[in-house]
Amino acid sequence: MSVNRDPNSDCDYTEGDETTPLFGNGAVQTRARGASFASSVFNLMNAIMGSGILGLAYAMAGTGIIGFCILLILVSSLASYSIHLLLKLCDQTGINSYEDLGGKALQKPGKVLVGIAILIQNIGAMSSYLFILKSELPATISSFLSQDNTGNAWYEDGRLLLIIVALAVVLPLSMLPKIGFLGYTSSIAFFFMLYFAVVVVIKKWSIPCPLPHNVTTLSGDFQISNSSDSECTPKLFVISSKSAYAIPTMAFSFLCHTAILPIYCELDRPTKVRMQNVANISIGLSFLMYLISALFGYLTFYAHVNSELLLGYDAYMPRDILVMTVRLAILLSVLLTVPLIHFPARKAVILLLFGDRPFSWLIHIVSTLIILSMVLLLAIFVPDIRNVFGVVGSTTSSCLLFVFPGIFYLKISSQPLRSCDSIGAVVLVVLGLIMGIISLSVIIITWVQSS
C-alpha cells in the first residue's frame, strides 16, 4: 500500500482510503489533485449550517440584540480558535484524524472516547434532521397543492416520504468514498440557506407590529395575545430563562470539527494556513448568515418570535408563496447536509472497529448501510427524538467543539503552559465544561417543569 504525501502538508493520503493513515515510509510522491478551495469552503459551511439557523432569532429574543451579537462573536471566535489548535496538532504530529489525536493524547481510551462522541453526536444530528423531514415534508408538499385535495394521499405519509428520500438521495450521496465529492451538493445547500436569509429580510416589512390578535392558519384559528406598541421596540440586553438556551444553541450552530480534518486532507495543496483560511471564510460567512436571519427574524416578531422561526410566518402568512418555497429550500438543505454528517460517523466506526486498514468497498458499504439504517429507524419510530438527543447533544457538542481540542493540545503540544495557545486551550476546556453543564441542566430542569 503506497502512501502519498503532499510536500507542503503534514497530512498523508492513501488513494481511496477513507481512514487517512499516519506517516508511511516517508516517500514523497505526486498526489492526485484534491478538492478545490471553494468546494472545501462549501463543504465546511454545509457542516456548520443546519436547522440550527431556525432557532437563532429565538435566541436573540432571549438575550437582546447587543447581547446576542457579543455571544455570537465569542462562540464563533472560539470555534475558529479550536480549529486552529486542531490544525496545529495535525501539523506537529502528522495525525490527520480526530480519533487518532484522541489516541495520541489519551492513549486508546481517548481514541475510543472521541469515536463514541462523534458517533453519538452525528447519529443524533442525522436522526433529528430526518425527523424534521418526516414532520415537515408532507405539510410542505400539501401547501403547494390545491386545498381541495383532501384524503390520505401517499405524500401525506411522513414515514413513506422519509424512506423514499433516504433511498433516492441520502444513500447514493453517503456512498461516495470521499468528502470532497459532496462540494457540489454543499454549494446548493448554501444557496438554499442564503435564500432563507433573503426571505427573512424581505418579510420584515410584510408583517405589521403590533401583531394582529386573531390569525387564520391552514389548520384553523391561531390565537395569540395582542401585542402592544411597547413590544415593537427591540431590546438590546435581555436576561431571562430563555437566555440559558442561547449559548448552547450557538455552540451547536458552529460545530463542524468532526469534518475539519477529512476536508483538510482532501484539500488541493493542503497546508495549515490554507485550511485555516477555509475555516475562517466558512465561519465568517456562516456568522453573517446567522446574524442577518436572526436579526430580521427578531425584528419581525420581537417577543413573540417562535423557537422555530418558520412557524411564525405560517401563523401570519398562510399559503404565502415565498414562505412555502423557503420552507422547501430549508428542508432540501437539511437533506443535503445528512450525507456530509454521515461521513465522519462512518469514518469513526471504521477506525474504531478496523483500525488503519486499507480502503475496502465491502467495509465502506456495510458501514454506510448500518449507520443509515440505524438513523432511519430512530427518525421513523422514536416519537420525540429531539428531546432524547438534546441531552446527548448538549454534552458531546461541547466536548467536540471546546473540551477535546483544548485537552488534546495541552497533552500533545510541547509548548509551555504559559504560552498563548496553552492558555487559550485552558480557556476552551473551562468554557466548554461550563456550557455543557449549563445546557444539560437547563434541559433537565425544563423536562421536570413540563412534567
Average pLDDT over residues 43-69: 84
In a domain, 6, yes or no: no
Interval 220-241 mean pLDDT: 62
In a domain, 329, yes or no: yes
Residue 304 domain-assigned? Answer: yes
- Residue 109's domain comprises 35-450
CB atoms within 10 A of CB 162: 21
Long-range contacts of 344-347 (CB under 8 A, 24+ apart): 344/98, 344/118, 344/122, 344/258, 344/259, 344/262, 345/118, 345/119, 345/122, 345/123, 345/126, 345/371, 346/18, 346/174, 346/371, 347/18, 347/19, 347/97, 347/99, 347/262
273 located within any domain: yes
| Residue 438 domain-assigned (yes or no) | yes
Positive or negative torsion for Cα 334, 337, 342, 345: negative
User: Per the structure block, which three cell numbers stand in for 90?
Assistant: 495535525
pLDDT surpassing 70 at residue 361: yes
Residue 19 is assigned to a structural domain of this protein: no
The model scores a pTM over 0.95: no
Residue 426's pLDDT is: 94
Q: What are the C-alpha distances in Å from 447 to residues 101, 131, 439?
A: 36, 20, 12
- DSSP character for 35? B
Query: How much of the chain exceeds pLDDT 90, in percent?
Result: 22
For the chain, the domain total comes to 1
Say if 311 falls within a structural domain.
yes
> What's the pLDDT score for residue 388?
58
Instruction: Convert the pLDDT of each residue in 312-336 to its tens digit.
Output: 787 777 778 888 898 888 888 888 8
CATH code at 362? 1.20.1740.10
Does some domain include residue 20? Answer: no
Per the listing, cell 510522491 goes with 29
Alpha-helix runs per DSSP H in 49-144: 56-63, 65-93, 98-144
